[in-house]
Amino acid sequence: MNDDFIDIIPFSNKNKCMLEVPGSKSISNRALILAVLNDGVVKLNGILHSEDVDIMLDALKLLGVKIEIERENKSVVVYGCKGVLPVKKATINVGNAGTVARFLTALLALQEGGEYSLDGSLPMRVRPMGGLLNVLESHGAKLEFKGEKNCFPFTIKTNALSNEDWEIDASASSQILSAILLISPLIPGEIRLNLIGETVSRPFVQMTVEMIHQFTENGSQKITQNGNKFLIPDLNLNIESGNYAIEPDATAASYFISLPLSVGGEIVVQNLQNCNLQGDIGFCEVVKNIGFRISRSEFGIESRLDTIAGGGDFDFNDISDTFLTLAALSPLLQSPLRISGIAHTRKQETDRVSAMANELRKLGQNVEEGHDFLSIQPSLNKLSSVSPVFINTYDDHRFAMCFAILGSHDLFKNGKSWMRIQDPNCCAKTFPKFFQVLSHLQSNCI
């Protein structure tokens, strides 16, 4: 694979092909924070080894947390320190990792007498942090901004956090709410948390709550929720088995679950059948509605296309990381597609709504873009007039992966590449071996 681009080789699937996806990034980085907060040694099995998780691991080690990494076994051993970081002064770069930016900042705010300088990539400097920083500041943290207020870079001076009632605006990102929930068991006393307005991607909040329960002693009280109000009891984080299994990444699985639309046949994503923490498993219901047959077996989730695939009208607010998967494949649909609930994705790795509209128009598609939606009139015939097409990935891993699935379609029935993906190494953020897995399928499914 060229570092600058990769030409996607199309193929047709004649077999039932099986593959594995790596561990969930969302679960991996939550589990790392919870393991640090734990009282004792925790082994995280099936952890994702990728750019985002490595940034979290490097930061935690820099902060004095003892961590043993076993890459071949896909595991990490964390020596929990009950959230008390040995290093009280450090400079940390969070890259473009949103989970690190929010979760780590909240963890730092727990410290007594700490001073930490944080920065991120250029895209990270414009990603939403205000809802988190404002509430940390109102509960004891002091912030000094080097540039624009509520944006990286900044210095945070910490003196623990008060347990006064929390009013949180997480309208820009559910990670803001999850960050406070993760650290709440280490704030003394009972915590009352009120979400102001709404948040996006609510299943990620439920993931956070459930994972806190999994890392808590058996028989402990539970976090309770009534609408937008959360009550967090005084919890003792101590995972009694000392082991925690991380689910395969449901978002990464969405690319391969949808692959039959592009190449035909049947795909089995292994070990995904019992995943229950990740809201993005809901992508299966979306593709069922456009004509897929999705089933669970002892091997995993099995996907095939049972009929001609149509479009539809879908709200992706809860599973917005997967909207790109369906949008990129829209040229292969037989009727219009409308995707809504995606306004917040304009402030992720890139403006995902406009970027997707741009790339689909390169493919000759008729696209209407609104603040919170995309409407696409598919036309496969127009693809022939724009071949070969160069896909810009915007330093966004999900663009590289979702368009690679479209490029796997044998458009001209000659097995020759008609799509070039720019900057394929951006996949290192969450799925470093994505193109190797796709190449393996191309070699073994013929």
Could you list the active site residues? 321
CA separation for the pair 24, 28 (Å, rounded): 6
What is the radius of gyration, based on Cα positions, of the chain?
22
CA pair distance 2, 20, nearest whole angstrom: 24
How many CB atoms lie under 10 A from the CB of residue 219?
6
Q: What distance in Å separates the CA atoms of residue 336 and residue 331, rounded to the nearest whole number?
A: 10
Q: What are the residues whose beta carbons fall under 8 Å from the beta carbon of 365, sequence distance 6 or more?
A: 330, 331, 376, 377, 378, 379, 382
Cβ contact 84:65 at 8 Å:
no
Dihedral (Cα; 352, 353, 358, 361), 10-degree rounding: 130
Rounded to whole angstroms, how far apart are CA atoms 403 and 125?
A: 27
Tokens 């097995």 — which residue? 415
β-sheet with 112-119: strand ranges across: 89-93, 112-119, 154-159, 142-145
Q: Which two tokens stand for residue 153?
A: 């870079």
Q: Is 436 exposed, middle or buried (0-12, 13-18, 19+ CB in 10 A)?
A: exposed
* Bridge partners (DSSP) listed for residue 92: 118
User: Which tokens sit at 235?
Assistant: 């919890």
Write the CA distances from 132 to 9, 113, 240, 312, 344, integer angstroms.
44, 20, 31, 36, 16
CA distance 7 to 10: 9
CA distance 437 to 273: 20
